[in-house]
C-alpha cells in the first residue's frame, strides 16, 4: 500500500482498493506537468492529458457509488489525539440526504467536469495541430504560431 497505516485507517474498507489507483493517477499527472513545462504544448503532452482525463472519468464513475470515503478523522481534545467516527456520527444526526453524500457527489461532479474538459480540449487541440502538419513531438514553447492565412 502506498499510504501510511495512520492514514490508511481513516478510509472505509470499500474505498481502500481505490486509493493506490488514485495515488497512481496523481503521480501520472505530476509527470505530465513537467513535460508541459519543459517542452510546452505538443501533441504528445496533449495525448497524455487526454489519457489522464479519461482515466479520471473512469475511476470517478467507479468510486461515486462507494459513498463517503472517510470513516474516521483525527481529533485533538487538548490532551490526546483520537479517532472520531464520522459515519456513526452522521447516522445519529439522521439528516436526509446526508451532507457527506452531497459533498461526495459534488466532489465527483467537479472531478468529472474538469476531466471531461481536459479530454475534450486535448482532443480538439491535437486535431488542430495535426491539420497544421505538426508531428507528435515538437517544442511547443519555441515553435511560431502559423495561421492558415500565412501559409
What percentage of the chain reaches a pLDDT higher than 90?
56
Every domain of the chain and the residues it spans: 5-135
Q: Which three cell numbers stand for residue 17?
A: 482498493
What pLDDT is stored for residue 79 in this prediction?
92
What confidence score (pLDDT) does residue 142 get?
57
pTM across the whole model: 0.80
Q: 85: which strand partners?
A: 72
Q: What are the pLDDT digits (tens) for 98-132?
A: 888 899 999 999 999 999 999 999 999 999 988 88
pLDDT, position 141: 63
Number of C-beta neighbours around residue 46 at 10 A: 22
Residues 84, 105, 56, 65, CA torsion sign: positive
Amino acid at each position: 500500500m502506498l499510504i501510511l497505516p495512520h492514514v490508511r485507517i481513516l478510509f472505509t474498507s470499500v474505498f481502500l482498493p481505490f486509493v493506490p489507483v488514485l495515488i497512481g493517477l496523481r503521480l501520472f499527472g505530476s509527470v505530465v506537468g513537467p513535460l508541459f513545462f519543459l517542452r510546452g504544448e505538443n501533441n504528445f503532452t496533449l495525448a497524455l492529458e487526454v489519457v489522464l482525463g479519461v482515466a479520471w472519468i473512469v475511476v470517478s464513475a467507479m468510486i461515486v457509488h462507494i459513498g463517503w470515503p472517510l470513516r474516521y478523522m483525527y481529533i485533538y481534545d487538548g490532551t490526546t489525539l483520537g479517532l472520531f467516527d464520522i459515519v456513526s456520527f452522521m447516522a445519529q444526526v439522521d439528516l436526509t440526504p446526508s451532507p457527506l453524500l452531497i459533498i461526495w457527489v459534488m466532489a465527483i461532479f467537479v472531478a468529472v467536469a474538469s476531466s471531461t474538459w481536459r479530454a475534450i480540449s486535448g482532443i480538439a487541440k491535437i486535431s488542430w495541430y495535426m491539420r497544421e502538419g505538426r508531428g507528435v513531438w515538437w517544442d511547443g514553447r519555441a515553435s511560431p504560431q502559423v495561421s492558415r492565412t500565412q501559409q
